[in-house]
Every structure is written in structure tokens, then in C-alpha cells.
Amino acid sequence: MTLDSVKRGQRVKILSIPDDMIRTQAIRFGIAEGAVVTCREIVPAGPVVISLHNQEIAIGRKLAKNIMVEAVVSSPEKALPDKIE
Amino acid sequence: MGKKAGFVEGARYMVLAGNPNVGKSALFNALTGLYADVSNFPGTTVNMCHGRLGKDIIIDTPGIYGISSFTAEEELAAGLILSSHLVINVIDAAHLERDLFLTLHLIDCGVPMLIALNMVDEADLCGLPVDHGLLEDLLGVPVVPTVAVEKKGIIQLVERLPEARPGKIEELLKKRLERLAGLYDISRGEALLLLEGDLPVAEKLGVVPGMERHDLYRHRRERANMIAASVIREETRVDNLASLLGRLTIRPLTGIPILLVVLGAIYLLVGVFFAQTVVQFTEGIIMQGYYEPLVKKLLSGYIDPASPLGVILSGQFGLLTMSVTYLFGLLAPLVLGFFLVISTLEDTGYLPRIAILVDRSVSPLGLNGLAVIPIILGFGCVTMASITTRLLHSDRERLIAIFLLALAVPCSAQLALVTAVLAGLGPYYLILFILIILSVMVAAGTVLSRFLPGHSTPLLVDLPPLRLPRLKNVLTKALIRSWDFIKEAFPIFLGGALFLSLLKVTGLLYLLQTLMEPLTVGWLDLPRESAYAFIMGFIRRDFGTAGLLSLPLQPEQQFVALVTLTLFVPCIASVMVIFKERGWRQAIIIWPVILVIAFIVGGTVARLFDLLGGIPGVNKPVVLIGLLLLLLAGLLVLKGRERPV
């Protein structure tokens, strides 16, 4: 499913972000592919606001349509798989 | 607003670097005692500020999320960072995860640095207290907790400056970077940028840019998340009043009423309190009641008021009478009122939320919601707002925004006078005025969006928390900006008034008025004397509007002149900024196009008034409002059909 179809309060895992520049920008904001985020707000026909910890990010509707996500059922989980030494 | 600092032998250059809106400017103020513009939204530091700390030089940089050259601002900041002796990385303790990306980027570059862990008070309030000792161990650089706006932790930060050092970097990456740096004889930072595919560095060396940006970025993001997870001591997400209110401002059902209330409050404060109550006192009583009679009385002892010199000093456009009265009696209080409002809005963090609310509505103009920020700032000062268009992501969006700013956004000075004129004309004219200006803006944006090549970027913006503005910062900022405005406007006003007086004394004004008669009398249905308002409008459109007030005009004529002058190019200063931001090729087209649009729209309104005049007993503004709404509705229906379902 895509990010524009999530519901308010739903937790989703980001699977893919389309554009190279957008992906770079999103990584800097804290949202990498694989991150688990919460949908805070979804403005009808407008942007989607997602949050990761204390950070809120607004994503325009057209862009959200191109971001693939999957629903996450269990919630108390850290944002990214831990695989660094 | 940059302060110059002279070069001293042996002085170190220290650069403040950090994400947007983390308190760099506040820290700069605390360290140097100078004032840098502090706001609660990204993109405030458009000009660099430098100041002194002892014999060292501190440079405030625009906020960045990483070191690269994606925008001109980033390139500037990256250049400063890589050539500095020492970097003070300012991070927002409440948004540690986001900010640590830049921190790790700086560490990978190998610059000597230390960290100001700012806004620790806010992090504690949010339930995200940070273990700064552990953070220091993990990063390998000094970490000093600060609250820059309250000047807390500043002394400790200065004490630890000598401990600044390059942080802990992964051995493997370090070896690769050092090898690359040795190969091309560049710094480790440049080597990193090269690997990450940075074009300016690659061009400088004449080599193919690296392809490893995505992997390096992803890895760095993972490290940042790991570190953040281990230093945040507990996570008890507190849903406080600010975050609840923040959410209400972006839901259309509550957000639109909130926006309307805010706009209404602004109108009451500026349009009613400042534009009427305060101005009646400053212009009516102080300037026209005491100041002007006094000046005229003093002068009459030495100079004949009818002589050329008398006319220049105290005549219709008198240097000592009209100019001083308009500037200090009328404009100064109004501009102060507007800057108070705009400073408050900036500091609350409300502006990006308006961007979210309107994102959808502005997309037909080829803009995303972010463009609303320069547009709103334009109601303060179009010149400054034109510079803030740099925060938009594509050149196409910057061009559209600058064009709309110059065409249809009245700045505080102009808006104040517009409010004053409209207050006398009644509510129907007010509604008609807003509708006309909005339609022109929408039409211009739509046309530009359709014919300019390229695509606009989607909205992707990080939201600052809603904060209660600090009274002292709001006042300082409003006063400094107003003072800057007066300093800039005063000579232009004097020059303009002198120019007009000279035209009058030499009889050229009469000639110009005759030359412009087809335009003013024939096309706009105005008296021939109105020509001088337009001549002044070239210099500052608010000065032109001020000139309208002194002409004996019918309500309809006032309205036509008002519409034409509002669509005029804002002022000499903003024209210069357009030239600077867009280059002369575009500017030389933008300027006359705007003038032509202004006269076409103004003239059309005059013709319609004329036509309606033939029908007795008709309320002209109301009919025009109806016509315009009908036209807009028709266009919307057409557009709706056009769009594929």
C-alpha cells in the first residue's frame, strides 16, 4: 500500500521512496527506508503528517502516493533494524 | 544584517553549524552580543552574520540537514564548514535523531568540533531527556548542554572550546577517505563529498563524482538512530497542549477557522489599532497638528513659501513637511505593527502549519505549500520575502514566487495605506479589492505554472514544534526590522519628494501629466494630477498610494488607482533584489510585464465601473463582486471537467 492510504494513528514501515533527491532529503530528516513511522494527521486531499519519535514531517499528497509502506501490527519497536557494530 | 569583523592575525574562524531552527542564531547572539534574526522556522539566516568572541571570529551559517551542494545555501554552508578552524555543531536535544545525521556527517569530514546540545529544557519537557555524558563518549567530541535563548550553558561552552577535536569515525571509512585525500591532495571532508557524488568538488578536481551517496547516507542514518536510541534516557511521549494545538491547526475542520481567527486578529491589531488609532495620533496630532505648522512657521521667517526653495522644503511634496510626516507619522507605526505580527508568527512555528493547510490549494499555481511562507512574509516586506524564496526547492518555484510577490503582494507599508483608503470606502470595496488581487495572483500563477518548463517539487518539510514566542525576541526583531526599514526608506522618500518638487518647480510635472493623460484620464478615468502618484509608485508603491490620499478623488476613482498601484512593482529595493536573485535577463522582462498587468487590470475595473454607471440605482462594487465570483466558479467547473478522474 502507499502512504496516502494510511489512517490517522496507524503505524507503518516505509518500504520504498521513489526519487533519489527525495530519498536523500528524507534520510536526513530521519526517515529512511525501513523506518517505522506513525501517521499523525492526514489532511483531506492534502499532505500526510508522519512522526518518528518527536519529529514531525509533512509529505505532500502526490509524493505520499509514491511512497510504498506496509502496516505494522506490534507497536513498541525501534525504528530501524539494529545491525551495526 | 551581517556585521563586519576585521581580520586579526592568529584569529581562528569558528563556524556555527546545525539543522534549521535549532537555535544557531540565538547561540550566535549569546556568544557575540550581536543580533542575528531568530525565528521558529527554517531559512531565517539568509545572510551570513559574523561576530567576535575574543579575537576569534564566529560565523553564523544557514541551517542545513547535511553537507552537500544541493542548494546554493548548502554549498555556502559546506564551504564555510570545510574551511573553518573549528565547528560548533548546534543540535536540538528534542530532535536528536534528525540532528545527529549532520553531526555524524561533520565527524566523517574530520573537522575539529564540539557540540552545543541546545534546547535541553524542551527535551526534558517532551519527556526525552538526553544523557549528554554518554553522547560525548559515543561521538568522541565535547558535548555541552545549553539553552541559548536563556543564555544557559554559554560560559561552559566557551570554556570547552579548546577541547574541540575531530570525532570518532569508523576505521574503514577513515582509511578510505585518507587514501582518497592523499591521492587528490584534498581534505578528508572534500574526499567524503567526492565519494558522495558532490558535483562542485568533482568538477574542481576534474574527476567523475562518486556513486556512494545512498549507501553512506543510509549507514549514517542507522548510526544516528542507534546513538539517539542509546542516549535518550527514557521515552515518555508527553502529549502536551502545544502538540494538541499543533494538530488542530492542520486539520481543515479546525485549522481553517483558526487561520481565519488569526487573520482577523491581525486585521484588528494592524488595520484598526495601528492604522487608525495610533496613526490618528502620530500623523494627525503630532505631525500635522504640531510638527508641520512649527516647521512652516520657522521657515517662513527666512524663505518665501512660494519660492522654488520654499516649495521644495515645505510645499506639496515638501522635504521637511510631507516626507517626514508620511514616514514617521504614518509609515513607521504601521510598519512596526506589521513586523510585530510577522515576528510573532515566525516565532510560534505556525507558518509551516499554514503551508500544510494550503498545500493542496496552491498546487495549481505550480507551488507547494512551503511557498506560502515567503508570500506571507511579503505582507511584511516584499524585498526580504523575495530573498526568502531561496528556501523553495526548485528554480521554477522561486521564479513563480518572486513574480507573485512583486505583482500581487502588498508589503506592510503599502497594505497599511491600502487599509486606510479602503476603511473609508466601505466593506464592499474591501471584498472586491481582495477578490481582484487574489484572482490576479491565481491567474498569474496558473499561467506561469503552465508555461514554465519543468516540474514543481512536492512538499516535504519538517515541522517545528509550536512554541510560545518570547516577548523580548519578538520586540527586538520587530524594532530592528522597522528601524532597518526606516533607514532604507528615508533617503528614497527624500529623493523621491525632491524629484517631484523639482518636476513641479520646473514645470516638467505639468508636461508629464499631459503625456500620461491618455493613460490616467483616458484609460483609468482618473484626474490628470494622479500622474504624480504613479511616478512616485515607481520609486515606492506605498509612496504612490500615500499620494492618492491627498487627491480629491471619487470612491470609484480611489479604488481604481488603489488596484493599479497595488499591482505595481513594489519598490526600488525589491526591484534590485529581483535583479540580484533572477539575473538581469529575467528581471528586465518581469518589471515591464508587471506594469502592463497593473494598468490592464486597473483599466478594466474603470471600464466596468463606467459601464455599470449607465444602469441607475446599481451598487457597482456588489455587482462586480458577483461577476467575479461567477467567472471564478465558471473556471473551476471548466477545470474540474478537464481533470482526468
Structural domain spans, chain B: 13-231, 252-458+470-642
- Determine the pLDDT at residue A81: 47
Q: What share of chain A is helix, strand, coil (3-state, %, to 5)?
A: 20, 35, 45
- Determine the pLDDT at residue B644: 43
Distance of alpha carbon B640 from alpha carbon B182, whole angstroms: 61
What pTM, to 2 d.p., does this model score?
Answer: 0.78
- Determine the pLDDT at residue A83: 42
- Determine the pLDDT at residue B425: 85
Tell me the chain B residues in contact with residue A52 when contact means C-beta distances shorter than 8 Å: 97
A44 with B252: Cβ contact below 8 A: yes
Instruction: State residue A50 phi and psi, 5-degree precision.
Output: -115, 160
- Please tell me if residue B217 touches chain A, with a CB cutoff of 8 Å: yes
Half-sphere exposure in the Cβ direction for B294 (13 Å, CA): 8
Closest CA to B91 of B47, B128, B56: B128
What mean pLDDT is reported for chain B?
85
Tell me the chain A residues in contact with residue B97 when contact means C-beta distances shorter than 8 Å: 30, 52-53, 55, 79
**Rg of chain A in Å (alpha carbons):** 12
Chain A residues with at least one Cβ partner in B under 8 Å: 20-30, 32-33, 40-41, 43-47, 49, 52-63, 78-80, 82-84
Q: Looking at the partner chain, which of A32, A58, A79 has a beta carbon nearest the beta carbon of B356?
A: A58
Let me know: does B439 contact B636? Beta carbons within 8 Å: no
Q: Which of A11, A38, A54, A63 to mutate to test the interface with B (most CBs of B within 10 A)?
A: A54
pLDDT in tens, B304-347: 888 888 888 888 778 888 888 878 887 788 788 878 888 888 88
What is the fold of A3-71? Answer: SH3 type barrels. (2.30.30)
- Domains in chain A: boundaries: 3-71
Tell me whether residue B596 is exposed, middle or buried, using C-beta atoms within 10 angstroms of its C-beta: 0 to 12, 13 to 18, 19 or more. exposed
Tell me whether residue B607 is exposed, middle or buried, using C-beta atoms within 10 angstroms of its C-beta: 0 to 12, 13 to 18, 19 or more. middle
SS3 B380: coil
Tell me the chain A residues in contact with residue B224 when contact means C-beta distances shorter than 8 Å: 30
**Rg of chain B in Å (alpha carbons):** 28
Structure letter (DSSP) for residue B444: H
pLDDT in tens, B82-106: 989 999 999 999 889 899 999 999 9
Q: Looking at the partner chain, which of B217, B224, B247 has a beta carbon nearest the beta carbon of A40?
A: B247
- Determine the pLDDT at residue B645: 35
pLDDT in tens, B402-425: 999 999 888 877 887 788 788 888
Residues of chain B numbered 345-404 and touching chain A (CB < 8 Å): 352, 355-357, 359-360, 363, 368-369
Q: Which residues contact B45 (CB under 8 A, 6 or more apart)?
A: B24, B25, B36, B37, B60, B61, B62, B63
- Determine the pLDDT at residue B235: 60
Distance of alpha carbon B64 from alpha carbon B102, whole angstroms: 8
Q: Please state the CATH superfamily assignment of the domain spanning residues B13-231 in this structure.
A: P-loop containing nucleotide triphosphate hydrolases (3.40.50.300)
pLDDT in tens, B43-67: 444 456 778 888 888 888 888 899 9
A27 with B213: Cβ contact below 8 A: no
Q: Looking at the partner chain, which of B128, B360, B463 has a beta carbon nearest the beta carbon of A45?
A: B360
Partners of residue B14 on adjacent β-strands: B58, B86
Positions of chain B with pLDDT lower than 70, given as ranges:
1-10, 35-48, 234-239, 639-645
Let me know: does B467 contact B353? Beta carbons within 8 Å: no
